[in-house]
Copies of this chain bind each other. A is one copy, B any other.
Amino acid sequence: MFRLPVRVYWEDTDAGGVVFYANYLRFFERARTEWLRSRGHLQERWRRESGIGFVVTDTSVRYRCPARLDDLLDVTVAVAHAGQASFSVAQQAWRSDASGHPQLLVEGTIRIGCVALGTFKPCRIPSAILDSIR
């Protein structure tokens, strides 16, 4: 399972004193990007070289416990399903509590589709990518 540490900054919080829930989608995306990078896939290069891109088609997120300013989160990525033109990842955000036990804060499933840039029409995931995420 891939893990990315994510620090909570002022920009991530809201007037409730906690991380604004929509921002976990940003944290999840950073983790997916670094997970792909760790497998040698750079999204910007695909876009330029092959004219395809990945778009988020579905997100389902459950917010269990709030994170706060200065928290250090551990954001995970695990492939849940990989098809011909889309794949789904299960993602979680964890934080260690005062005694060092990991606590699950937020979890979700993100479905990503492969599309032709410009038209946003679905297309096959390149086999080099599909092989490495399966």
Binding site for B on A (CB under 8 A): 7, 9-11, 13-18, 20-23, 25-26, 29-30, 33-34, 42-45, 53, 55-63, 65-66, 68-70, 117, 120
Contact = CB atoms under 8 A, between A and B. Distances in A.
Number of copies: 4
B11 A14 contact: yes
Given A16-B55, A59-B59, 9 more contacts: A7-B34, A11-B22, A16-B117, A17-B17, A55-B63, A55-B66, A58-B62, A58-B63, A66-B120
27 contacts: A7-B33, A7-B34, A9-B26, A10-B16, A10-B29, A10-B43, A11-B14, A11-B26, A15-B17, A15-B68, A17-B17, A21-B56, A22-B23, A22-B25, A22-B26, A33-B70, A43-B70, A44-B68, A44-B70, A55-B66, A57-B62, A58-B60, A58-B62, A58-B63, A60-B61, A65-B120, A66-B120
